[in-house]
Amino acid sequence: MAAREKSQRIGVFPGSFDPIHNGHLDLVERSLGLFDQVIVAVLDNESKRPVFTVEERVEMLEELFERRASVRIESFSGLLVDFARAVSAGTLIRGLRTGADFDYELPMALMNRRLFPELETIFLVPRAEYADLSSSLIKEVCRLGGEVSGLLPEGVRKRLEGKLRG
């Protein structure tokens, strides 16, 4: 059993997930085709002023993935590489939608490599219909009364509307 656990391919999909949307879900599904276990790692950082607390974000993710034995939900604070080391992950998974994402991601991937050379970062591309989705845009549209159905899971949408429209 221990030997089997050792040989498991573990990928960490880190992010703020404030809140999770369909683009994120698509990336988790794609990651499951590449790894034995995918750990969705929720950044616990109040300085980003999230709409949802880290406990709420973890709870929503746990509900969404409760039937997926190969998906684990964790929160982390501090350096992502330290978290990856602690959970024996060999790979970080990030999404790439646009060139702007690449400009944001490349320095992080290179810094993470500096800190933990054995850890790889891979970039996955979401389905084209989700390529314009971001948590911040969804929050802005929702806050201003726009329709966000179909962009994120229904339960998450309801909780977001509850938060932003009171």
Contact residues toward ligand PNS (CB under 6 A) are 14-16, 43, 79-80, 108, 111-112
Residue 84 or 142: which CB sits closer to ligand PNS?
A: 84
Cα distance between residue 95 and residue 15, in whole Å? 10
Minimum distance of ligand PNS from residue 14's CB (angstroms):
4
Contacts of 43 (CB under 8 A, 6+ apart): 14, 15, 16, 17, 54, 75, 76, 77
Residue 65 or 76: which CB sits closer to ligand PNS?
A: 76
Minimum distance of ligand PNS from residue 164's CB (angstroms):
18
Minimum distance of ligand PNS from residue 166's CB (angstroms):
25
Residue 118 or 147: which CB sits closer to ligand PNS?
A: 118
Tokens found for residue 96 = 């790439």
Which residue of the chain is nearest ligand PNS when measured via CB? 15
- Rounded CA Rg of the chain: 16
Per the document, the length of the chain is 166
Catalytic residue among 30, 97, 113, 143: 97
Minimum distance of ligand PNS from residue 112's CB (angstroms):
5
Catalytic residue among 4, 7, 47, 48: 48
Residue 24 annotated among the catalytic residues of the structure:
yes
- The answer to whether 65 and 71 have CB atoms below 8 angstroms apart is yes
Residue 135 annotated among the catalytic residues of the structure:
yes
CA atoms lying within 13 Å on the CB side of residue 104: 9
Buried b (16+ CB within 10 A) or exposed e, 140-155: eebeeeeebeebbbee
Residue 143 annotated among the catalytic residues of the structure:
no
Residue 159 annotated among the catalytic residues of the structure:
no
Catalytic residue among 21, 24, 57, 159: 24
Q: Which residues are catalytic?
A: 24, 48, 97, 135
